[in-house]
C-alpha cells in the first residue's frame, strides 16, 4: 500500500474511533519503536472493548498493529514489515479476581510483574516467574514472549502457571479459554497459542494464573570458582540433589563483570536460591555446603532478604537494562546435559574473535543467555555473523535452538532471529492465516 | 461405510491379523470406561508411526472417521467411535523407546501404560508424576489426549506440565514433531494445544516426557470429621495456610460406608467425611509440614487425625480411597460419575448444595474428590433398569455440572468433554469462545475426521437439549477410576 493511501487510512481510522478511544490517542515516541520503526499513532485502551474496537477498525482500514506491554523486550522478533498502530496495554493493569485460598489470580494483561507480586506478597503468596525490569514488564508481554526466567517452580516453565486467558482477535472478537481452576479439560487450551506467540494471533487481555504460597524462609548461596568446570559441575550436583531450590544459575566471569555486583568477587559464579522452613532450610544449606566442598569453591557466602532480591533481579535484568545491554544476544535452549560441554565452546568462539561473551545459565533447565559485548567499540560486522553461525552450529549439534534476541539489524536480517521453526513453519502459517487472515498483527515479527 | 477394498488397503498397511471387523471382535471396542456403547466399523491396531500415517492417508482420501483409543478408561465417551469408522487401537505401540536419566526424560510410544513407565524409571530414582487413579491400565497416549490429572497433581500439575514434546500424525497423514527434548521452543506451543484436545486434532505417536526425582520422604495423614462441612473447611484452610500438600483427597459418609467394608482401610463407618493428605519432599520439610497441617486441621474439630506409620499403613489408607468407586456396588446397581471442578474455597458451599440436591431428589450421591484442587467426583447412585431413576440421575448430573461452572469452576477436571458434556459447553463458553476453538480444528483436520462429534455441541441439538448423556453411567463394581 502506498504511503498516501496509508496516511489517508490512518486519518480515516482515527476519525472513525469512538470519542472515548480517541481520548486515549497518544503520540509515538522511542518507547514504541521496534528496530527503529515507529508507529504513526499510538492508542492506550482502557477496556477490552477499546482493544476490540481498535483491532476491528485497524482491520477495516488495513493498519498494522503491534501490541505493547512494558516495551522492555520489543527487540525480540524480526523487524516488523509494517507498523502503523502501537497498542499499549499499560492502562489495563488491574487485578480482576484474587482469592488467596484458591491459589489463583486473574489480572488484566497490562499489570506489571512488580505490581502483581506486591499484591500477592500481601497474602504471603507469589508467582514463580522472574523477568527483566519488573517495574515495567507486564504479564501480557512476558507471556507473549513466552520464555522463563531464572525462577522456576519444580523445574517447570512459564506456561505451566497459566490456567485461563482472554484474548481479542484481529476482527475484534473477544474470546476466552480455560478458567480459574488448576484442573480443567474443557475445550482446547487456546492460551497455548498466545504464550510465545508474540502477539501475532490476538491480543492477550486477561490472564488467570496459578500462584503459590511464598516459602517461609529463603537464602541464596553465592559461590565463586576458579574454573568453569568446577562451577558447572557444582551446579549440576545441586540440581540433581533433592534440596528445595527456586533458582540455580551459573554465570561466567564475562557476565559477572557486567552484572557489577559489588559484594561478589570475580570468577565463575554459581548461585542457588534455597527455601524451606526452619529445619528443612538448614538441611538444604548443609547439603549445598557439602556438595560445594567437592568442587573446590573459592568463596562462599549467603545472602538474604533485600540483598538476595537485588542479586536475583540483576540476574533477570541481565542484557535488558542499559548497564548490561549487549551488542548481540542469543537465547539458547538445550537438553540440560549438553549445557556443560557447550559453555567452553561458546566462550572460545567469541574470545578468539577478540570479543567478550557473557553467559548466564539456568542450570537444569537447559537455557543459556549468550551475550556478546563490543569490547573495542569498533567491531567488524563479519565477526558477529561468524559468531551467530558458530553458535547455531554448536547448538544444532546438540539438538537445541538459538534465537537471536537482540542484535543489529543486519544480523537479524541475514540470519533470521528464530531458530527451530522449520519443521512447524507450515502449521504456524496456517494458524496465522486462520486467526489473522489480513495479517494485521505484528506482521513479519514471528513469521 | 467401509467397503472391502478399503479393508484390504488397511490390511496391507498393518497386516491382516491387525484389522478386526467381525462382530465378535468389535464388541470389545464399543465401550470406554462406561456402559455407553457404539461399535466402530473396523478396528485397526498399528505398530508404528509410519503405519498410522498410511492409515490416515487412506481414511482421509475415503473420508472415513478415525478415533484413537488407548486403554479406554476415560469416562466421557471420548474413545467411543460414535459415528462408526476406524477405531485406531494404539495398544501395540507400547514401547519405552529411551530413558535418559541425565536429562530426566523418557521417550515413549502412546500405548505405554502410565504405571509401567514409573516402574521402568524407578531404578534411576525417577518417576513420572501424573498419576491418574487408572494408572495401572491407562496409557500415556490417552493421558495426553485428556490432559489427565490424578491425586498428586495438586502439587505437581497435570499431564501438560510433564510433556516436553510429541510426535503426531495429522488428519492428512503428515508426521510432525511439536516441542522436543528442550524445555523451551520458540513460536506457537503446538505441543500444548494438542494436550487435552481429546484426539480431535492429531494422533500422538510418540512423547518425550519429563521425569521427576523421587521425593526423599512421604507422609500420609488421615483426618476424620463428623461432617462434610468441617472437612471441606479444613481443606480450604490448609491451602490458605501456605502449604501445598502433594495430595489432598476427600470422601464423604456414603463413600466411606461403601469402601470400608470392602477394603478395611480403617475409616470409621460413622464418620461424616475423611481427608487423606499426603506430603512429600525433604524429610525435614515433611515433618514440618505434617505438624503444620495437623495444627490447621485440628481447628475444624476432627474426630481423629492419624499418620501412617509404615508403608503398609499408607497403602491401606490409600486402598480405601482407590477402592471407593468399585465399592459403590454395595449401595446401588449403578452410578453416574461426575467430573467437575470448582475453586477450593467454594468446597463448603458446593458440597452443601450437592447434599441438598441429593435430599431434594431423594437420590443418594456418594462423593469422592480430589479436594485440594477442587476436582469433584460425585457419584449419583441409581438403578438403570428403572427409566425414571436413570433420567433423574442424568438431570442431577447436569445440575451439578452447572453448579460447578456457576461457582467459577469447569465442566471437566480430568476426563474431558467427549460425548458426555458437549451439550453443556455453551454453559461455560459463549459462541465466540467456541468459534475460536473450532477454527483450530480446521487447521489440523479440515474434513473433521479425527474423533468427530466430540467436545463441541451439536449446533442443531444444543438449542433444544439441556443435558443428555449416558456415557458415564457405569455398572458399579467394574473398573472405573477417578
From A447, which residue of chain B is nearest by alpha-carbon distance? Answer: B187
Residue B477 confidence (pLDDT):
41
Whole-angstrom Cα distance, residue A315 to residue A336?
Answer: 20
SS3 per-residue string spanning A165-234: EEEECCCCCEEEEECCCCCCCCCCCCHHHHCCCCCCCCEEEEEEEECEECCCEEEEEEEEECCHHHHHHH
pLDDT at A378: 61
**For chain A, percent helix, then strand, then coil, each to nearest 5?**
35, 25, 40
Is A433 inside a domain boundary?
Answer: no
Q: B403 to each of A360, B138, B343, B428, how far by Cα in Å?
A: 49, 29, 12, 11
User: Is residue A126 situated within a structural domain?
Assistant: yes
- In words, the CATH class of domain B217-411 is alpha beta
The beta strand positions in B332-394, using DSSP E, are 334-337, 340-341, 365-369, 375-376, 378-382
What nine digits make up the cell of B69? Answer: 483409543
Considering the domain architecture, whether residues A102 and A186 belong to the same structural domain is answered as: yes
Report CB contact under 8 Å: A424, B178: yes
Domain boundary among A292, A317, A342: A317
CB distance A104–B343 less than 8 Å?
yes
**Percent of residues, chain B, with pLDDT higher than 70:** 94
Looking up cell 505401540 gives B93
Question: Do A11 and A118 lie in a common domain?
Answer: no
How many C-beta atoms surround the C-beta of residue A9 within 10 A?
Answer: 18
DSSP for residue B32: S
C-alpha cell recorded at residue A108: 488484566
Output DSSP code: residue B458. P
pLDDT digits (tens, 9 = 90+) for A284-318: 999 999 999 999 999 999 999 999 999 999 999 99
Average pLDDT, chain B: 92
pLDDT of residue A143: 97
Structural domain includes residue A135: yes
Neighbours of B290 (CB within 10 A): 21
Task: Give the cell for residue A422.
Answer: 522449520
**Cα–Cα distance for residue pair A179/A104, rounded to 1 Å:** 10
Find the CATH number of the domain harbouring A279.
3.30.70.2190
C-alpha cell at A430: 496456517
The whole-angstrom distance between A2's CA and the closest CA on chain B is 31
Nearest to B192 among A159, A367, A423 (CB): A159
Q: Is B374 on the interface with A (CB under 8 A)?
A: yes
Whether A44 and A99 share a structural domain: no
Cα distances from B6 to residues B46, B58, B62, B86, in angstroms, run 16, 8, 8, 11
Nearest to B381 by CA among B363, B394, B395, B361: B363
Which residue, chain included where needed, has cell 503398609?
Answer: B312
Of B247, B249, B246, B243, the closest CA to residue B292 belongs to B243
Of the candidates A90, A117, A139, which is a domain's last residue? Answer: A90
Tell me if the domain spanning B96-213 has CATH number 3.40.50.720.
no
CB-CB contact of A87 with A203 (8 Å): yes
Which residue do the cell numbers 498410511 mark? B54
Query: With contact defined as beta carbons under 8 Å apart, do B380 and B396 qualify?
Result: yes
Query: Between A and B, how many residue pairs show a Cβ–Cβ distance under 8 A?
Result: 267
Cα torsion angle, A222, A223, A227, A230, sign: negative
**Rounded Cα distance, A320 and A147, in Å:** 14
Going by the DSSP 8-state scheme, the letter that residue A79 receives in this structure is: P
Mean local confidence (pLDDT), B187-205: 97
Residues of A with CB below 8 A from B370's CB? 183
Q: Which residue has the cell 514463580?
A: A128
Are the beta carbons of A346 and A325 closer than 8 angstroms? no
Between A47 and B31, residue with greater pLDDT: A47
Together in a domain, A230 and A282: yes
Last residue of a domain, one of A184, A213, A242: A213
Nearest CA in chain B to A368: B184
* CB-based contact B271:B226 (threshold 8 Å): yes
Summarised one tens digit per residue, pLDDT across range B261-309 is: 998 999 998 899 999 999 999 999 999 999 999 999 999 999 999 999 9
For residues B54 and A2, give the distance between their C-alpha atoms in angstroms, rounded to a whole number: 48
Closest-CA distance, B4 to chain A, in angstroms, reads 34
| pLDDT value, residue B469 | 43
**Interface touch A159/B189, C-beta < 8 Å:** yes
Residue A441 falls inside a structural domain: no
Q: Residues 35..94 of B with a Cβ closer than 8 Å to A: which?
A: none
Residue of A180, A185, A330 best to disrupt the B interface, most CBs of B under 10 A: A185
In this prediction, residue A71 carries a pLDDT of 97
Task: Looking at the complex, report in whole angstroms how far the Cα of residue A350 sits from the nearest Cα belonging to chain B.
Answer: 24
Angle at B148 between CA B142 and CA B154, to 5 degrees: 160
pLDDT, tens only, A99-142 = 999 999 999 999 999 999 999 999 999 999 999 999 999 999 99
Q: Cα torsion at A96, A99, A105, A106 (round to 10°)?
A: -30
Instruction: Let me know if A122 is exposed, middle or buried by CB neighbors in 10 A (0-12, 13-18, 19+).
Output: exposed
Nearest to A421 by CA among B186, B293, B365: B186
* Cα dihedral B366, A185, A143, B179 in deg (nearest 10): 130
The secondary structure of residue B427, as a DSSP letter, is: H
Q: Which grid cell sits at B40?
A: 466402530
Rounded to 5°, the CA angle B350-B354-B358 comes to: 170
Distance CA A182, CA A189 (A): 12
- pLDDT of the residue at A158: 87
B31 pLDDT band (50/70/90 cuts)? confident
> Residue B32: which pLDDT band, with cuts at 50, 70 and 90?
confident
Contacting residues for A45 by C-beta, under 8 A, at least 6 apart: A21, A24, A51, A53, A54, A87, A89, A91, A92
Closest CA to A209 of A173, A178, A246: A178
Q: In the beta sheet, which residues pair with residue A335? A: none
CB contact under 8 A, A242 and B184: no
CATH number of the domain enclosing A154: 3.30.465.10
**From A347-351, B71-75, B157-161, B379-383, the region with the lowest mean pLDDT:** B71-75
Cα B56 from Cα B68, distance rounded (Å): 11
Q: Which three cell numbers stand for residue B60?
A: 482421509
Q: Where are the alpha helices (DSSP H) in A17-77?
A: 19-22, 48-60
User: ipTM value of the model?
Assistant: 0.96
Question: Which of A186, A248, A441 should we substitute to test contact with B (largest number of B Cβ atoms within 10 Å)?
Answer: A186
The rounded distance, in Å, linking the Cα atoms of B186 and A447 is: 12
Q: Is there a domain that residue A447 lies in?
A: no
Interface of B with A in 288-307 (CB under 8 A): 288-289
Nearest-CA distance B323 → chain A (Å):
22
Annotate A131-151 with DSSP letters as a single string. -SSTTT-BHHHHHHH----S-
**Nearest alpha carbon to residue A442 among B187, B434, B436, B183:** B187
Joined together, the cell numbers standing for residue B281 give 519432599
Q: How far is it, in rounded angstroms, from Cα B348 to Cα B346?
A: 6
pLDDT at B468 over 80: no
- Residues counted in chain A: 447
Please tell me the distance from the alpha carbon of residue A287 to that of residue A241, in angstroms, as a whole number. 9
Q: N- to C-terminal Cα distance for chain A?
A: 20
- Can you give the C-alpha Rg of chain B in angstroms? 22
Assess whether A162 and A59 both reside in one domain: no
- CB contact under 8 Å between B341 and A183, yes or no, is yes
Query: β-pairing, A356-362 with A245-251?
Result: antiparallel
Which residues does chain B have within 8 Å of residue A176's beta carbon, measured at their own beta carbons? 429, 433
Residue B390: its H or E element: helix B387-406
Cα angle B345, B420, B393 (rounded to 5 degrees) comes to 75
A292, A332: one domain:
no
Domain boundaries, chain B: 4-89, 96-213, 217-411, 423-462
Shared-domain flag, residues A280 and A301: yes
Report CB contact under 8 Å: B443, A196: no
- Residue for cell digits 472417521? B65
Residue B342 CA to residue A180 CA, distance in Å, equals 9
The region, left, alpha or beta by phi > 0 then psi within -120 to 50, assigned to residue A423 is: alpha
Residue-wise pLDDT for B430-462, tens only, equals 999 999 999 999 999 999 999 999 999 986 554
Spatial distance between the Cα atoms of B118 and A297, rounded to a whole number of angstroms: 37
Q: In what order do the strands lie in the sheet with A401-406?
A: A297-303, A217-225, A268-276, A245-251, A356-362, A367-373, A328-333, A401-406
Q: What residues of chain B lie within 8 A of the CB of A240, using their CB?
A: 213
CATH classification at residue A68: 3.30.43.10
Name the CATH code of domain B4-89 (choices 3.60.9.10, 1.10.645.10, 3.90.1150.10, 3.30.43.10): 3.30.43.10
Q: Domain tally for chain A? A: 4
Q: Does A186 contact B at CB distance below 8 Å?
A: yes
Verdict on whether the full-model pTM lies above 0.90: yes
Place of cell 481427608: B275
Answer whether B376 touches A (CB < 8 Å).
no
Q: A351 lies in which domain range?
A: 328-419
Q: Chain B partners of A433 at a C-beta cutoff of 8 Å?
A: none
Q: Considering CB atoms only, which of A99, A148, A176 is closest to B433? A: A176
What is the number of residues in chain B?
482
CATH code assigned at A414: 3.30.70.2740
Lowest mean pLDDT among A141-145, B121-125, B390-394: B390-394
CB B103 to CB A336 under 8 A? yes
One domain, residues A398 and A346:
yes
For chain A positions 306-365, those within 8 Å of chain B (CB to CB) are 331, 333-337, 365
CB proximity under 8 Å: B 175-234 to A: 176-178, 180-193, 195-198, 201, 210, 212-213, 215-216
pLDDT at A377: 61
Question: How far apart are the C-alpha atoms of B100 and B106, rounded to whole Å?
Answer: 6
**Residues B422, B428, B430, B431, Cα dihedral to 10°:** -10
10-residue averages of pLDDT along chain A (447 residues): 87 97 96 95 98 98 97 96 97 97 96 98 95 97 94 83 97 97 95 97 98 96 97 95 94 95 94 96 97 97 97 96 94 95 95 92 94 74 90 97 95 95 93 98 96
Confidence of residue B471 (pLDDT cuts 50, 70, 90): very low
Distance separating alpha carbons of residues A367 and A100, to the nearest angstrom:
32
| Alpha-carbon span A201 to A209, nearest angstrom | 21
Amino acid at each position: 500500500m502506498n504511503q498516501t493511501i496509508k496516511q489517508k487510512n490512518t486519518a480515516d481510522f482515527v476519525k472513525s474511533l469512538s470519542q472515548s478511544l480517541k481520548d486515549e490517542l497518544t503520540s509515538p515516541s522511542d518507547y514504541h519503536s521496534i528496530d527503529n520503526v515507529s508507529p504513526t499513532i499510538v492508542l492506550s485502551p482502557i477496556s477490552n472493548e477499546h482493544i476490540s474496537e481498535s483491532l476491528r477498525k485497524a482491520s477495516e482500514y488495513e493498519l498494522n498493529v503491534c501490541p505493547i506491554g512494558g516495551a522492555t523486550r520489543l527487540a525480540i522478533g524480526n523487524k516488523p514489515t509494517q507498523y502503523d498502530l502501537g497498542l499499549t496495554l499499560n492502562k489495563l493493569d488491574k487485578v480482576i479476581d484474587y482469592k488467596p485460598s484458591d491459589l489463583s489470580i486473574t489480572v488484566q494483561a497490562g499489570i506489571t510483574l512488580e505490581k502483581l507480586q506486591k499484591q500477592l506478597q500481601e497474602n504471603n503468596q507469589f508467582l514463580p516467574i522472574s523477568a527483566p525490569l519488573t517495574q515495567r514488564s507486564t504479564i501480557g508481554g512476558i507471556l507473549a514472549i513466552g520464555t522463563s526466567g531464572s525462577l522456576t517452580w519444580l523445574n517447570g516453565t512459564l506456561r505451566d502457571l497459566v490456567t485461563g486467558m482472554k484474548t481479542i482477535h484481529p476482527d475484534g472478537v473477544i474470546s476466552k479459554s480455560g478458567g480459574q481452576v488448576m484442573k480443567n479439560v474443557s475445550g482446547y487450551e487456546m492460551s497455548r497459542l498466545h504464550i510465545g506467540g508474540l502477539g501475532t494471533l490476538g491480543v492477550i487481555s486477561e490472564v488467570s494464573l496459578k500462584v503459590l504460597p511464598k516459602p517461609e524462609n529463603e537464602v541464596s548461596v553465592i559461590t565463586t570458582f576458579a574454573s568453569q568446570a568446577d562451577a558447572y559441575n557444582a551446579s549440576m550436583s545441586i540440581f540433581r540433589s533433592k534440596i528445595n531450590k527456586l533458582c540455580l544459575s551459573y554465570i561466567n566471569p564475562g557476565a559477572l563483570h557486567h552484572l557489577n555486583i559489588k559484594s561478589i568477587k570475580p570468577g565463575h559464579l554459581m548461585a542457588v536460591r534455597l527455601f524451606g522452613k526452619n529445619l528443612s532450610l538448614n538441611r538444604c544449606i548443609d547439603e549445598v555446603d557439602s556438595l560445594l566442598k567437592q568442587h573446590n569453591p573459592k568463596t562462599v557466602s549467603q545472602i538474604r532478604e533485600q540483598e538476595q532480591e537485588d542479586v536475583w533481579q540483576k540476574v533477570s535484568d541481565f542484557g535488558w537494562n542499559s548497564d548490561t545491554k549487549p551488542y548481540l544476544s542469543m537465547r539458547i535452549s538445550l537438553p540440560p546435559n549438553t549445557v556443560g560441554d557447550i559453555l567452553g565452546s561458546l566462550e572460545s568462539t567469541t574470545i578468539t574473535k577478540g570479543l567478550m561473551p557473557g553467559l548466564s545459565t539456568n542450570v537444569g533447565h537447559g537455557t543459556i543467555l549468550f551475550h556478546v559485548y563490543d569490547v573495542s567499540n569498533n567491531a567488524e560486522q563479519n565477526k558477529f555473523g561468524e559468531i551467530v553461525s558458530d553458535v547455531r552450529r554448536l547448538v544444532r549439534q546438540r539438538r537445541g535452538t538459538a534465537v537471536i534476541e537482540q542484535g543489529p539489524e543486519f544480523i537479524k536480517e541475514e540470519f533470521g532471529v528464530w531458530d527451530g521453526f522449520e519443521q512447524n513453519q507450515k502449521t504456524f502459517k496456517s494458524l496465522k492465516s486462520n486467526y489473522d487472515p489480513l495479517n494485521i498483527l505484528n506482521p513479519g515479527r514471528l513469521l | 461405510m467401509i467397503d472391502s477394498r478399503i479393508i484390504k488397503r488397511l490390511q496391507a498397511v498393518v497386516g491382516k491379523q491387525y484389522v478386526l471387523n467381525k462382530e465378535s471382535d468389535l464388541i470389545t471396542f464399543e465401550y470406554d470406561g462406561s456402559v455407553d456403547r457404539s461399535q466402530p466399523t473396523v478396528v485397526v491396531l498399528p505398530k508404528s508411526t509410519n503405519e498410522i500415517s498410511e492409515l490416515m492417508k487412506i481414511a482421509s482420501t475415503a473420508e472415513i472417521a478415525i478415533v484413537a483409543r488407548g486403554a479406554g478408561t476415560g469416562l466421557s465417551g471420548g474413545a467411543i467411535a460414535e459415528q462408526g469408522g476406524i477405531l485406531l487401537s494404539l495398544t501395540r505401540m507400547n514401547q519405552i523407546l529411551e530413558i535418559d536419566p541425565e536429562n530426566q526424560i523418557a521417550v515413549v510410544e502412546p500405548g505405554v501404560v502410565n504405571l509401567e513407565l514409573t516402574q521402568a524409571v524407578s531404578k534411576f530414582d525417577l518417576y513420572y508424576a501424573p498419576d491418574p487413579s487408572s494408572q495401572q491400565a491407562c496409557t500415556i497416549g490417552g493421558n495426553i489426549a485428556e490432559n489427565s490429572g490424578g491425586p498428586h497433581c495438586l502439587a505437581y500439575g497435570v499431564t501438560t506440565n510433564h510433556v516436553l514434546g510429541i510426535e503426531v500424525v495429522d488428519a492428512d497423514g503428515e508426521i510432525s514433531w511439536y516441542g522436543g527434548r528442550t524445555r523451551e521452543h520458540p513460536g506457537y506451543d503446538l505441543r500444548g494445544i494438542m494436550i487435552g484436545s481429546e484426539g480431535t486434532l492429531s494422533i500422538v505417536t510418540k512423547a518425550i516426557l519429563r521425569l521427576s526425582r523421587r521425593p526423599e520422604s512421604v507422609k500420609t495423614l488421615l483426618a476424620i470429621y463428623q461432617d462434610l462441612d468441617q472437612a471441606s473447611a479444613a481443606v480450604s484452610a490448609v491451602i490458605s495456610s501456605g502449604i501445598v500438600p502433594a495430595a489432598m483427597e476427600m470422601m464423604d459418609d456414603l463413600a466411606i460406608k461403601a469402601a470400608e467394608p470392602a477394603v478395611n482401610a480403617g475409616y470409621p463407618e460413622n464418620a461424616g467425611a475423611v481427608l487423606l493428605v499426603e506430603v512429600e519432599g525433604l524429610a525435614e520439610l515433611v515433618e514440618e509440614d505434617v505438624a503444620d497441617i495437623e495444627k490447621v486441621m485440628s481447628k475444624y474439630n476432627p474426630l481423629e487425625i492419624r499418620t501412617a506409620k509404615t508403608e503398609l499403613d499408607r497403602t491401606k489408607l490409600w486402598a480405601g480411597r482407590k477402592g471407593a468407586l468399585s465399592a459403590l456396588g454395595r449401595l446401588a446397581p449403578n452410578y453416574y460419575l461426575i467430573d467437575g471442578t470448582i475453586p477450593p474455597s467454594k468446597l463448603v458451599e458446593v458440597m452443601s448444595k450437592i447434599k441438598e440436591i441429593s435430599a431434594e431428589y431423594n437420590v443418594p450421591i456418594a462423593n469422592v474428590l480430589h479436594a485440594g484442587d477442587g476436582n469433584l467426583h460425585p457419584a449419583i447412585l441409581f438403578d438403570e433398569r428403572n427409566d425414571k431413576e436413570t433420567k433423574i440421575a442424568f438431570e442431577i448430573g447436569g445440575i451439578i455440572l452447572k453448579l460447578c461452572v456457576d461457582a467459577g469452576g469447569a465442566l471437566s477436571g480430568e476426563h474431558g468433554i467427549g460425548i458426555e458434556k458437549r451439550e453443556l459447553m455453551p454453559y461455560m463458553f459463549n459462541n465466540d469462545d467456541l468459534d475460536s476453538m473450532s477454527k483450530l480444528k480446521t487447521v489440523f483436520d479440515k474434513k473433521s475426521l479425527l474423533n468427530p462429534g466430540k467436545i463441541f455441541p451439536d449446533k442443531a441439538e444444543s438449542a433444544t437439549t439441556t443435558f443428555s448423556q449416558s456415557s458415564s453411567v457405569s455398572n458399579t463394581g467394574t473398573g472405573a477410576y477417578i
